[in-house]
Amino acid sequence: MQIERHRTWAALLLLSGAAGCAGNGKGLDQNGQPISAGGTSSGPITADFQSIQDNVFTPICSKCHIGASAPEGLQLDAAHSYNLLVGAPSNEQPNLLRVKPGDPDSSYMARKIEGASGIDGGQMPLGEAPLAQTTIDAIRQWITNGAPNAPAAAAAAQAFAVQTMAPLDKATVRAAPARILVTFTHAVDASLVNDTTVTLERVAGEADAGTQAMLITAALAPANSAVLLITPNSALDPGVYRVTLRGGGGGALADMNAATLGANTSFEFTVEPAR
């Protein structure tokens, strides 16, 4: 059923893509060919993030992996993909990173596109032809090279801000997340990550005990310091949870240039009772 819904989406996206082709060249790849929505990759792909985004993540993966319904909270559109992949733990297999720089064999995303044995769920792209071997090789090579980001001129010009989080604000999740992810536009100053700048509270639960502070471990992802990992010390019971990042005052969360978020930033998500 999940997949049926994704297919409808894909059809809609195709339609809007076709409309966009008319005058401005949008919807065309770097060779001027219409971006293929099929499982085969389009155009020559090189082992750099921009090429992989343009040839794979945007045209093939982000049909499903986008917005609030992105499977496993993994958004693969250009605005979100890098930090949700590199250094970020898999939801299906929390002991593995989706992309572990330098180590494609231990990168869960690589395993998923290869259909390696031991993965949970299906080979990606789900229900479509597997990626071409040359495409998989380019992605593996990019990981082997340390999974560098695209030239980050645009990112440097952006203010320090929260980019996205998983679970998303207002999301309802069926299983308690092993970790909560928050990604930022810039690398975060690790010395400012502590239990006063990052807090998790249960704001509503079954036994209504009012707002309750949760014990957590907050740390930056070792391979990507634009990714904050919040690990509850014990599994989260069903209820509504609020994450707050302290954005102002002494010792507030900041990037490496001491720019802060300016104001506290909060988001809430609900862990559903087991059915």
| Position with the least CB separation from ligand HEC | 121
Give min distance, CB of 24 to ligand HEC, in A: 25
Give min distance, CB of 111 to ligand HEC, in A: 8
Query: How far, in Å, CA of 265 to CA of 30, rounded?
Result: 39
Residue bearing tokens 């597997």? 130
Give min distance, CB of 25 to ligand HEC, in A: 24
Q: Residue 268: left (phi > 0), alpha (psi -120 to 50), or beta? A: beta
Query: How far, in Å, CA of 114 to CA of 62, rounded?
Result: 18
**Are 8 and 1 in contact, with CB atoms under 8 Å apart?**
no
Residue 200 CA, chain-centre distance (Å), reads: 20
Q: 29 vs 51, 55, 56, 261, CA distance in Å?
A: 10, 8, 11, 36
Give min distance, CB of 229 to ligand HEC, in A: 13
Dig out the tokens for 43 from the structure.
Answer: 């155009």
Residue bearing tokens 């997949």? 3
Residue with Cβ nearer ligand HEC (127 or 249): 127
Positions that interact with ligand HEC (CB under 6 A): 2-3, 6, 56, 60-61, 63-65, 71-72, 74, 90-92, 98, 108-109, 112-113, 120-122, 124-127, 131
Give min distance, CB of 225 to ligand HEC, in A: 20
Give min distance, CB of 54 to ligand HEC, in A: 13
Neighbours of 28 (CB within 10 A): 16
Q: Which phi and psi angles does 240 have, rounded to 5°? A: -110, 130
Residue with Cβ nearer ligand HEC (232 or 247): 232
Based on the number of CB atoms within 10 Å of its own CB, is 219 exposed (0-12), middle (13-18) or buried (19 or more)? middle
